[in-house]
Homo-oligomer: A and B are copies of this chain.
Amino acid sequence: MKIGSQAHHSSAISTSNEATILVRGRDLTQELIGHIGFTEHFWLLLTGTMPTTAQRRILDATLVAIAEHGLVPSVQVSRMTLAAAPEALQGAVAAGILGCGSVVLGSSEAAGNFFAAIAAKIAAGLAPEQAAKSLLLEYRAMRRPIPGYGHPLHKGFDPRARRLFEVAAEVGSVGTHIEIARQVERLLPELTGKQLALNVSGAIPAVLLDAGYPQGALKGVPILARTAGLIAHLLEEQLRPIGFVLSHVGAAAIEYDGEAPADFEPTHE
């Protein structure tokens, strides 16, 4: 039964009364806590249905793949913010999440939208290679970067991307989007002159979209995963702080090149 289904302004995620909390129609206490894992709960929250084993394993694999990669910018941001404002762990996490943008971690979303647009062309009748080539040319004409390929450290290939495709094969969830991601990789040298391997931010949306994960929540995967990594770094920051070390070496690396009186001697040089 649906309640309030005529309402113009409504939400289908959760409601409660004094004794019961419903999440996606399930009794939180009796059906969910202690019965399902957090990854299944995340899928349920997003879609309203419980994931299959394959869907859960794919989502787990992407969250594990992207949660942590050392002292990346968002981690440094988060640790510096906690050093300055230790009273508010939530502020340090929020600052780190704000760096999940279009350039760094949010590129999963851009890559997913790119693959989905190619999939739409295939659904409209184009052959896969034609569909991919056609969108690649559109992006190049608009000087838009091709999202999901190349990595500054993992140059030959991104081991996480390769592993995610293996997991998708293991659970029997290889579909159109993974094929498209491979097709684009093959076309890139010819169309761009560069041999760029699929990176983790390209592999994540490919395997998730093939598993039926909602396209509008693609950016949520790196955001949720990195939140776990940030919390680990913020625990470590409390135990052996490096936040101010990071800001000192950062400041020392940048010279001042503005105006100054002739006799002024900067401290850091």
Contacts and interface: CB of A to CB of B under 8 A. Distances in A.
Interface of A: 1-5, 7, 9-25, 27-30, 32-34, 36-39, 41-42, 45-46, 48, 57, 59-61, 63-65, 67-74, 76-77, 80-81, 83-95, 97-106, 109, 153-156, 159-160, 162-164, 166-167, 170, 214, 216-217, 219-220, 223-225, 227-229, 231-236, 238-240, 242-247, 249-251, 253-262, 264-269
Nearest to A105: B84
24 contacts: A1-B262, A3-B269, A4-B257, A7-B254, A7-B257, A9-B242, A14-B68, A15-B258, A17-B266, A18-B156, A33-B65, A34-B163, A34-B164, A36-B64, A39-B39, A42-B231, A73-B247, A85-B102, A85-B106, A87-B87, A92-B98, A214-B235, A220-B234, A223-B227
A5 to B, nearest CB: 5
A172 to B, nearest CB: 13
Given A15-B258, A22-B256, 9 more contacts: A3-B256, A10-B254, A15-B256, A21-B69, A28-B64, A29-B160, A34-B170, A38-B228, A223-B231
The copy count of this chain in the complex is 4
Given A14-B70, A87-B101, A98-B85, A76 B250 contact: yes
Contacts of A95: 77, 81, 94-95, 98-99
Most chain-B CB neighbours within 10 Å: which of A15, A42, A94?
Answer: A15
Contacts of A94: 91, 94-95, 97-98
A154 to B, nearest CB: 6
Contacts of A92: 98
Contacts of A105: 84
Nearest to A70: B14
